Amino acid sequence: MSGTVLRAADAKAGKDIFDKKCAACHGEDGTGREAIAKMLKVDLPKLGSKEVQAKSDADLHKVVLEGQGKMKPIKDLDAKNVDDVVAFLRTLAKK
């Protein structure tokens, strides 16, 4: 191993971060808030959808940290926080 430290992601901690930093636009359940989508003139993807869930963890990390389209980057998150958010997003996958 090349000195990489593997961190166990914590979906519960990720939900807490998601609720504080993401739910205002994406909704508590990740289905998006229609009023925000209309105001910004965007389609907010359902975070549990096959399209979103097909993204790699690295791709989801990048969206959280750098933003995408009209979504701004999420500030004040360290790598562990982002791992936790991604772990929470994985719990939204449609079964």
Segment 19-76, tens digit of pLDDT = 999 999 999 999 999 999 999 999 999 999 999 999 999 999 999 999 999 999 999 9
Q: What pLDDT is recorded for position 86? A: 97
Could you tell me the pTM of the whole model? 0.87
Range of weakest confidence among 7-11, 33-37, 76-80? 7-11
* Other Cβ atoms within 10 Å of 30 Cβ, number: 21
pLDDT at 1 over 90: no
Q: Which of these, 6, 30, 11, lies nearest to 81 by C-alpha position?
A: 11
User: Which residue is listed with tokens 């940290």?
Assistant: 65
Quick one: 95 exposed, middle or buried, by C-beta within 10 A (0-12, 13-18, 19+)? exposed
* Contacts for 93 with CB less than 8 Å, ≥ 6 apart: 48, 53
